[in-house]
Amino acid sequence: MHCRQEMRFIGEKTALERLADIRSRFAEGIRRDFEHAAKDCLTCETKGVCCLDAHFVNVRITRLEAVAIVREIERLPAESQASIRRKILDTVERFGLENAAEDNQQTYACPLFERDTGCLVHHTAKPLPCIAHACYERKEDLPPDELLQEREVRVFELSRRTYGSDGLPKPLPVALKHLL
């Protein structure tokens, strides 16, 4: 006989606070333990190339992470918000992401990166894979995959306890489109 444990839900505000804590601790650990071996983004010949490389970016986020990002977008001036919405819709359409939401290999250029500004949610809602990413010269200097995976599982569980859905993380532009 299997006994299914009842899931305890938490409020969105509490979940967003916990998400911010997970992100903050993860970013601190990456900076402390790994980034010293990476190339400084400020010295990159083509700033943002990793974020805009449509053959590289494959960031998938939970509904909770999408809510955090949308809240940051909504703090921007109305004109900027409209521009970002257009970029998100264009990204979903141009890369066929809506139909490929279950395809874990589908890549795209990030609509949250602007050449003159950088990542629009860098300090407040940057997804975990983006926090872990840097240009490392040697493979052995990279943060171990398990470090990111452990935090992603925690965020997934937090999102599930908030919204009651077991829906898999979606490509960032698709998740944002559904909330915008």
Q: Where are the beta strands (DSSP E) in the chain?
A: 38-39, 60-61, 113-114, 118-119, 135-136, 170-171
Is 162:60 a contact under the CB 8 Å cutoff?
Answer: no
Question: What's the pTM?
Answer: 0.90
Q: Where are the beta strands (DSSP E) in 109-174?
A: 113-114, 118-119, 135-136, 170-171
Pull the structure tokens for residue 118. 């950088």
> What's the CA gap between 56 and 125, in Å, rounded?
20
pLDDT tens by residue, the chain, 180 residues: 444 456 789 999 999 999 999 999 999 999 999 998 988 777 777 777 888 888 889 999 999 999 999 999 999 999 999 999 999 999 999 999 987 656 678 899 999 999 888 899 999 999 999 999 988 888 999 999 999 999 999 999 999 999 998 778 999 999 999 898
Q: Which residue has the tokens 């950088």?
A: 118
Residues 6+ apart with CB under 8 A from 132: 26, 30, 143, 147, 148
